[in-house]
Amino acid sequence: MIKVVILGAGNVGIHLYQSFKLTPEVDVIQLFSRNPSRLDFIGNTTEVISDYEQLAEADIYILSVRDSAITEVAQNLKASKALVVHTSGSVAMEDLSMLDNFGIFYPLQTFSKNKEVNFSEIPLCIEANSEENLIKLKELGSLISTKVFEVNSEQRRALHLSAVIVNNFTNHLFTLAADYCNENELPFDILRPLIQETFEKIQDLPPYDAQTGPALRNDINTIETHLQMLNEDRQKIYKTLTDSIQKTHGKKL
């Protein structure tokens, strides 16, 4: 049985907790939050604490807090010889180097509070300061995911940036499209089959080969028409993306 304490009550921490609770080999003995009321839904199934002095002994402490708080929280675990990991995609493992045993346990996924996820399909990126600790993280990760990868800090930062582009930026473009549909009294649902096909296509094709549209075709008339339909802020985004597509594919306006 692997004894785990999760520090942090954000989306990542809660989803990890829920996944571990379904795993007989893992015992989440405590959840730490500076605002315990956020964890009222847990009831009496797991001890919730808000004082570092109350931390129980565990095999692994998982810091699932905002990036800027990782070092501060880790300082409170300096006396522990247990393995301490954080879940950030962009913070270096060496930010935990004040500890004896430390590493990374980064789930590459977008988490929303009320949206369930299948952790078995989520890539888990791990890194550790020793082979022994790496083995521990492989064991823990393999209990909840079929996709555990050894990724160093430099690679993880690159992966996190790539994830921001494909997830956060893409979702923002969906938001802009939804707003534009709404302004023209169109339901966003009309676009859902296109969105679905776009994502299904890159399951079989490299994104480069899946590219379509007026920028790829160098369709100047359509591009100019679109620009005239947009306000200044949206024009900037449209122009930037059009220029990027054409540079990528070797075309110019």
Backbone φ and ψ of 82, nearest 5°: -75, 165
Largest CA distance in the chain: 67
Asked whether the predicted pLDDT for residue 253 surpasses 70, the reply is no
Backbone φ and ψ of 190, nearest 5°: -60, -30
What digits encode the pLDDT tens for the residues 118-172?
889 999 999 999 999 999 999 999 999 999 999 999 999 999 999 999 999 999 9
CB burial readout 16-26, b (16+ within 10 A) else e: bbebbeeeeeb
Looking at domain 156-248, its CATH superfamily turns out to be ProC-like, C-terminal domain (1.10.1040.20)
Against a cut of 0.75, is the pTM above it?
yes
Confidence at 252, pLDDT banded by 50, 70, 90: low
* DSSP string across 58-119: -SEEEE-S-GGGHHHHHHTTTT--SEEEE--SSS-GGGGTTSSSEEEEEE-S---TT----G
- Residues facing 106 on adjacent strands: 125
Q: Residue 36's pLDDT is what? A: 81
| Integer CA distances (angstroms), 36 to 49, 53, 55, 93, 163, in order | 7, 15, 14, 28, 30
Q: Residue 52's pLDDT is what? A: 93
Q: Tokens 């492989």: give the residue.
A: 138
Domain with CATH 1.10.1040.20 in the chain: 156-248
CB 19 within 8 A of CB 144: yes
Looking at domain 2-151, its CATH superfamily turns out to be NAD(P)-binding Rossmann-like Domain (3.40.50.720)
Domain with CATH 3.40.50.720 in the chain: 2-151
Asked whether the predicted pLDDT for residue 38 surpasses 90, the reply is no
What digits encode the pLDDT tens for the residues 63-104?
999 999 999 999 999 999 999 999 999 999 999 999 999 999
Backbone φ and ψ of 5, nearest 5°: -120, 130
Q: Which range (27-36, 144-153, 202-211) has the least confidence?
A: 27-36
